[in-house]
Chain A
Amino acid sequence: MRPGEPLILWDWTFNHLPDIARRVQEHLVLTGIAVGVGFVLAFALSLAIRQVPQLYAPVTWLAGVLYSIPSLALFAVLIPFTGLSIATAEIGLVSYTLLILVRNIVGGIRSVPPEVRESAIGMGYSQWQLLWRIELPLGLAVIIAGVRVALVTTIGLVTVTGIIGQGGLGSLILLGIQQFFATPLVIGAVLSIALAVVLDGALVVLQRRVTPWTRPAA
Chain B
Amino acid sequence: MDTAGGVSFILQVASWLAAPEHWVGSDGIPTRLAEHLLISGVTAAAAILIALPLGIFFGHTGRGGFLAINVANLGRAMPSLALLALMLPVALSLKLGLGFWPTFFALVPLGIPPVLTNSYVAVRQVDPDVVEAARGMGLRERQVLRSVELPIAAPLIIAGVRNSSVAIVATATLGAVVAGGGLGRYIVDGLARQEYPRLFVGALLVALLSIAVEVAFGAFERIAVSTGLRAPSETPDVHIQERPR
Contact = CB atoms under 8 A, between A and B. Distances in A.
Nearest to B166: A68
Interface string A151-194: 01101110110111000011001101100001001101110110
Q: For the side of the interface on B, what is the size category?
A: 35 or more
Contacts of A50: none
A69 B82 contact: no
A146 to B, nearest CB: 11
B244 A69 contact: yes
Contacts of B89: 1, 7, 182, 185-186
Interface string A63-85: 01001111111111101110000
A188 B166 CA distance: 26
B233 interface: no
Interface string B68-89: 0000000011111111011011
Given A1-B93, A193-B77, A73 B203 contact: yes
Interface residues of A, number: 48
Given A149-B243, A153-B244, A77 B200 contact: yes
Interface in A50-99: 64, 67-77, 79-81, 96, 99
B178 interface: yes
A1 B92 contact: yes
B207 A188 contact: no
A157 B244 contact: yes
Contacts of A81: 1, 6
Interface stretch (B53-61, B120-128, B143-151, B169-177): B169-177
A117 interface: no
Nearest to A65: B211
Contacts of A64: 240
B114 interface: no
Given A76-B202, A80-B199, A182-B89, A192 B173 contact: no
B211 A159 contact: no
Contacts of B51: none
Interface in A188-210: 188-190, 192-193, 196-197, 200
A76 B174 CA distance: 12
Contact of A177 (B76, B88, B173, B210): B88
Contact of A163 (B83, B191, B203, B243): B191
A177 B190 contact: no
Interface string B1-26: 10000100100000000000000000
Chain A at the B interface: SS class: helix
B221 interface: no
Contacts of A73: 170, 173, 187, 202-204, 206-207, 210
Contacts of B207: 69-70, 73-74, 77
A190 B89 CA distance: 14
A79 B188 CA distance: 12
A86 to B, nearest CB: 16
Given A72-B187, A160-B174, A155 B79 contact: yes
A149 B203 contact: no
B27 interface: no
Interface in A1-36: 1, 7
A63 to B, nearest CB: 9
A99 B243 CA distance: 10
25 contacts: A70-B173, A70-B207, A70-B244, A73-B187, A73-B202, A76-B191, A79-B196, A80-B9, A80-B200, A149-B76, A149-B241, A153-B76, A153-B243, A160-B174, A173-B85, A176-B88, A177-B177, A185-B85, A185-B86, A188-B82, A189-B83, A189-B86, A192-B82, A193-B77, A196-B79
Interface of B: 1, 6, 9, 76-83, 85-86, 88-89, 92-93, 166, 169-171, 173-174, 177-178, 184, 187-188, 190-191, 196, 199-200, 202-204, 206-207, 210-211, 214, 240-241, 243-245
Given A160-B80, A185-B89, A193-B78, 6 more contacts: A67-B240, A74-B203, A156-B81, A159-B81, A177-B178, A188-B82
